[in-house]
């Protein structure tokens, strides 16, 4: 092959990569965002900004299928304020800009969490930690005011046994750090909806009982909390039988309910039987959400090529609605059917 032809092919390949590769193949049936809108539900996904930049098909699928997006990592404290007082908004701004173009809402995730914290936060004493919280929340919520309409203000504050998780915030400031975070977020953006987000509290258990006590107290004390997010990281064991009753008791407090991080992990390798079972669980999640009139339902990723399950849980994976090639799995059709498609 002539050198000139090789150079031309290399240039064309480079352009193709820079533009994000191939277009997404259209998915069958009506888009999830269209079906969900007819039910009065926002349907969303967690997104990874670096992959959205590089992969056009990934971007197109997000825009076509979902009405809300949640930055998976780009708004977490470790990413956005790695050094004290030095804020890096660029990656999160990119996600916000793309969402605006696609007429999508943004869920901010998350302001105060014990994990993915920069080391400097863990070293602070009580007075300095409170000062850092005040600055961080004011700067981050203020920066995205008008763009981010919903915030997961505090993430996972309850331990599995029903106590307060022994985070740096709980150890230094006690349970009052939760109310303080909500008041600071409300001060920074009075129009944003503010949620407490929790994992492992889908059913009625020690954790959800303590969560119920916490949010009841926040409501009673006039703390500006609007809703509770339930994560629904499930596997083929299925959902707790009482998950709908659990969500309903929180709704009865006058709080909005959201499912914020849904996925269903499968033992590898997946086969037809496992994927059909997974689809049934996804359908349960959607139907339960509709039963309690959730405000929103967010999947924690939508393609098996980008899922925290396969990246952090050895032997598990295939947890999302689409294959790593963005082809529909049985779960995708099940979600469509549950939404009335």
DSSP 198-248: ESS-SSSSHHHHHHHHHHHHHHHTT----EEEE--EEETT---TTHHHHHH
| Residue range 110-114: mean pLDDT, rounded | 98
Look at residue 20 in the predicted model and tell me its pLDDT.
65
Exposure on the CB side of residue 249, measured as CA atoms within 13 A = 17
Where do the domains of the chain lie? 3-338
Summarised one tens digit per residue, pLDDT across range 40-97 is 999 999 999 999 999 999 999 999 999 999 999 999 999 999 999 999 999 999 999 9
pTM, full prediction: 0.92
Look at residue 287 in the predicted model and tell me its pLDDT.
98
C-alpha distances (whole Å) from 142 to each of 78, 97, 146, 178, 249 are 18, 16, 9, 19, 33
Summarised one tens digit per residue, pLDDT across range 245-282 is 999 999 999 999 999 999 999 999 999 999 999 999 99
Q: At residue 2, does pLDDT exceed 80?
A: no
Per the CB < 8 A criterion, the answer to whether 9 and 309 are in contact is no
- Smallest CA-to-CA distance from 164 within 124, 198, 204, 128 is with 198
State the average pLDDT for the chain.
94
| Residue range 137-151: mean pLDDT, rounded | 98
Look at residue 21 in the predicted model and tell me its pLDDT.
77
| Residue range 218-227: mean pLDDT, rounded | 98
Range scoring the smallest mean pLDDT among 8-12, 149-153, 187-191, 328-332: 8-12
| Residue range 298-319: mean pLDDT, rounded | 96
Token reading at 108: 């901010």
74 is catalytic: no
Output DSSP code: residue 267.
E
In angstroms, the CA 108 to CA 155 distance is 11
Confidence of residue 183 (pLDDT cuts 50, 70, 90): very high
How many residues are given for the chain?
341
In angstroms, the CA 190 to CA 291 distance is 29
Determine how β-strand 316-317 pairs with β-strand 256-267: antiparallel
Over pLDDT 70: what percentage of the chain?
94
Per the CB < 8 A criterion, the answer to whether 253 and 302 are in contact is no
Please state the φ and ψ torsions of residue 118, each to the nearest 5 degrees: -70, 150
| Three-state secondary-structure class, residue 97 | helix
Catalytic residue chosen out of the listed positions 72, 81, 130, 156: 156
| Three-state secondary-structure class, residue 274 | helix
Q: At residue 163, does pLDDT exceed 50?
A: yes
Sign of CA dihedral 145, 308, 214, 239: positive
198 is catalytic: no
Output DSSP code: residue 294.
-
Catalytic residue chosen out of the listed positions 42, 202, 261, 283: 261
Q: At residue 23, does pLDDT exceed 80?
A: yes
| Residue range 293-301: mean pLDDT, rounded | 98
132 CB-contact burial (10 Å; exposed 0-12 / middle 13-18 / buried 19+): middle
Who wins on pLDDT, 341 or 169?
A: 169
| Three-state secondary-structure class, residue 161 | coil
In sequence order, the 6+-apart residues with CB closer than 8 A to the CB of 26 are none
Q: At residue 4, does pLDDT exceed 70?
A: no
Strands (E), the chain: 42-47, 68-71, 105-113, 148-155, 193-198, 227-230, 233-235, 256-267, 296-299, 316-317
Token reading at 72: 């998976």
Per the CB < 8 A criterion, the answer to whether 258 and 295 are in contact is yes
Domain 3-338 sits in which CATH superfamily? Glycosidases (3.20.20.80)
Determine how β-strand 42-47 pairs with β-strand 68-71: parallel
């Amino acid at each position: 092959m002539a050198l000139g032809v090789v150079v031309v092919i290399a240039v064309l390949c480079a352009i193709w990569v820079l533009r994000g590769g191939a277009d997404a193949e259209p998915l069958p049936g009506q888009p999830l965002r269209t079906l969900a809108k007819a039910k009065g539900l926002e349907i969303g996904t967690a997104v990874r900004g670096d992959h959205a930049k590089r992969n056009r098909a990934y971007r197109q699928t997000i825009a076509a299928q979902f009405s809300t997006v949640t930055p998976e990592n780009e708004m977490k404290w470790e990413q956005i304020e790695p050094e004290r007082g030095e804020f890096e908004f660029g990656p999160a701004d990119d996600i916000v800009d793309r969402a605006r173009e696609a007429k999508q809402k943004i869920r901010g995730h998350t302001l105060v969490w014990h994990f993915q914290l920069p080391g400097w936060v863990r070293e602070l004493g009580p007075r300095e930690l409170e000062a850092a919280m005040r600055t961080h929340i004011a700067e981050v919520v203020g920066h995205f005011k008008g763009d981010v309409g919903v915030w997961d203000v505090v993430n996972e504050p309850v331990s599995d046994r029903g106590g307060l998780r022994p985070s740096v915030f709980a150890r230094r400031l006690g349970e009052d750090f939760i109310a303080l975070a909500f008041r600071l977020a409300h001060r920074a953006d009075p129009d944003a909806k503010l949620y407490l987000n929790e994992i492992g509290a889908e059913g009625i258990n020690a954790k959800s009982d303590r969560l119920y006590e916490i949010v009841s107290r926040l409501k009673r004390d006039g703390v500006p909390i609007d809703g509770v997010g339930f994560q629904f990281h499930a596997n083929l064991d299925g959902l707790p039988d009482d998950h709908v009753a659990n969500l309903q008791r929180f709704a009865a407090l006058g709080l909005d309910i959201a499912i914020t991080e849904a996925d269903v992990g499968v033992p590898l390798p997946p086969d037809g039987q496992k994927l059909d079972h997974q689809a049934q669980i996804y359908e349960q999640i959607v139907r339960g959400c509709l039963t309690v009139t959730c405000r929103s339902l967010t999947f924690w990723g939508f393609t098996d090529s980008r899922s925290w399950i396969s990246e952090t849980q050895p032997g598990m994976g295939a947890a999302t609605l689409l294959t790593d090639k963005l082809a529909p799995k049985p779960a995708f059709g099940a979600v469509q059917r549950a939404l009335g498609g």
